[in-house]
Amino acid sequence: MAGRRRHGGRSSPRSGWGAVLPMVLAVASCAGPAARRDSADALAAAAGLMPGSVPAGPFELAVWQRPVRAPALTLYIEGDGLAWLDRAHPSPDPTPVEPVALRLAALDPAPAVAVLARPCQYRGAAVQPQPLCGDPRWWTERRFTAATLAAVDQAASILKERAGAGHLHLVGFSGGGALAALLAARRDDVASLRTVAGNLEPAWVNRLHGVETPPGTLSPAAQAGRLARVPQIHFSGLRDRVVPPGIAVDFAGALGAAGGSPSCIALERVEAGHTGGWAAAWPMLVARPLPVCGAR
């Protein structure tokens, strides 16, 4: 959730993690990227999600996917991960401490499910060298840019082809929610969109936390016209101080203003924080019927 704020004549990064940051860092200090990768692989394997990687523009992205062919693939997009060590220092490796999207995908009973990591997360999964991953701007300033979206788009097409699917059901956690919404606006094969604590408008979240929005940051709300007819559910945590429920309300308003039918979009508030509480609730939430888009 980081941008930059002018401070004392210098531009210094700031984060929206607030009070949870010390806890995150304490956990991270005990588990380096390799240990986090091993933990993720074990979690995925227990749910039949096989590890791998896919080429994605200048990156090679880590993935987990059930080796099942089906008419539709449910694709989970991971959150920002450990993007910052503190308010002034980007992390050298954004591999998530708590892989929420992966944890939710493991609970999804759909036959064809895949999880897509973000650029430079779990980089040990890559077969080829990843020279761009020496630049932390890819998981801080550039995480919602056109180049990142193009990489995610390419990866989604490969995973869809592997599943033999004709359509995608997108699920994005936190910053992965922004990319899921942007991906849904970009493609014509997205059957539904669901976000969990979704950062549906990075500039909105940055303003909340008093940080600047980096140049080139894409706006999901600006794509409201292309998203207005996509069946979607946005789940927000009642205790989430990082991406509070108000962002989903404003996003729904943007879709309505763009001509979307109110029946296309559902908002639900859940007793959860930003990362905590979602796994316990997900078996019930993932079973929610998708909205059926009707006349406005």
Residues 148-174: pLDDT tens digits?
Answer: 999 999 999 999 999 999 999 999 999
The radius of gyration of the chain from alpha carbons, rounded to an integer in Å, stands at 18
pLDDT(260) > 90: no
Sign of CA dihedral 224, 284, 83, 190: negative
HEC per residue, 237-267:
ECCCCCCCCHHHHHHHHHHHHCCCCHHHEEE
- Angle, CA 85 vertex, CA 183 and CA 243 arms, to 5°: 45
CATH code at 37?
A: 3.40.50.1820
DSSP bridge pairs for 6: 11
For residue 36, being part of any structural domain is answered with yes
Residues 157, 181: Cα–Cα separation, whole Å? 16
For residue 224, being part of any structural domain is answered with yes
Per-residue model confidence (pLDDT) at position 253 = 93
Residues 291, 296: Cα–Cα separation, whole Å? 13
- 186 close to 217: Cβ distance less than 8 angstroms: no
pTM exceeds 0.75, yes or no: yes
For residue 296, being part of any structural domain is answered with no
For residue 294, being part of any structural domain is answered with no
For residue 291, being part of any structural domain is answered with no
pLDDT(6) > 90: no
For residue 51, being part of any structural domain is answered with yes
For residue 106, being part of any structural domain is answered with yes
Range of the domain at 196: 3-285
Question: For the chain, what is the domain count?
Answer: 1
Name the pLDDT band for 294 (thresholds 50, 70, 90).
low
pLDDT tens digits, residue range 31-78? 799 999 999 999 999 999 999 999 999 999 999 999 999 999 999 999
Residues 134, 167: Cα–Cα separation, whole Å? 35
Residue among 200, 196, 209 at smallest CA distance from 277: 196
Token readout for 18 is: 């607030």
For residue 228, being part of any structural domain is answered with yes
Residue among 76, 123, 98, 120 at smallest CA distance from 31: 98
- 76 close to 70: Cβ distance less than 8 angstroms: no
Name the pLDDT band for 25 (thresholds 50, 70, 90).
very low
